[in-house]
Amino acid sequence: MKVVAQGTFDIIHPGHVHYLTDAAGMGDELHVIIARRENVGHKEKPVLSNEQRRDVVAALDVVDHARVGHESDIFAPIEDIDPDVIALGYDQHHDPEGIQAELDSRGIDCTVERASPRDPQHDDELLSTGDIIDRIIDQRCD
């Protein structure tokens, strides 16, 4: 079974690793689609380039294939991969019902699942790229 996970993956942190590990457990082959910097509009644009984020994600043992998303159609790579499952991060902003409706309209036969949350393992663990960047600014900028 093929699984697709997707995200920005700017500054990989334990939350990303948990999400991708959970997604990999939903099938036999994990494909990860890296959001193009120019298409990210729901939060700050990634700091790292599309290619650098793809290369870091591809280096993770649980990931079988990683690619940068399509320039204009976020479902184009999904049509190409033809997955059995799309795994959403537990806190990703996506609407599972909306995604399922678009998959159905395109004739893509797969289910949409949510990954489980990961609780911080210690008091100062950060599970958000934005929080990591904020801490860097707080601790490193005058």
Could you read off the pLDDT of 67-119 as tens digits, one per residue?
999 999 999 999 999 999 999 998 888 889 999 999 999 999 999 999 999 88
Q: Annotated binding residue at 122? A: no
Tell me: is residue 13 an annotated ligand-binding position. Answer: yes
**Single-letter amino acid code for the residue at 51:** E
The strand pairing partners of 85, in sequence order, are: 3, 111
pLDDT at 60: 98
Q: Is residue 14 part of an annotated ligand binding site?
A: yes
Residues in CB range of 43: below 8 A, 6 or more apart:
8, 130
Q: State whether CATH 3.40.50.620 applies to domain 2-140.
A: yes
For residue 21, give the 3-state DSSP assignment.
Answer: helix
Domain range summary for the chain, segments of one domain joined by +: 2-140
pLDDT score of 30: 98
Is 82 part of any known ligand binding site?
A: no
What's the confidence (pLDDT) of residue 43?
A: 82
Does 122 score more than 90 pLDDT? no
User: Using CA atoms, how far apart are residues 46 and 25, in angstroms rounded to an integer?
Assistant: 27
Res 142 pLDDT > 90: no
Length of the chain: 142
Q: What pLDDT, on a 0 to 100 scale, did the predictor assign at position 69? A: 96
% of the chain residues with pLDDT over 70: 100
Question: Is 134 assigned a ligand-binding role in the annotation?
Answer: no
| DSSP letter string, 46-104 | PSS-HHHHHHHHHTSTT-SEEEEPPSS-TTHHHHHH--SEEEEPTT----HHHHHHHHH
Q: For a pLDDT cut of 90, what percent of the chain falls above it?
A: 77
Kindly report, residue by residue over 45-60, the tens digit of the pLDDT.
Answer: 999 999 999 999 999 9
Question: Sorting pLDDT into bands at 50, 70 and 90, what band is 123?
Answer: confident
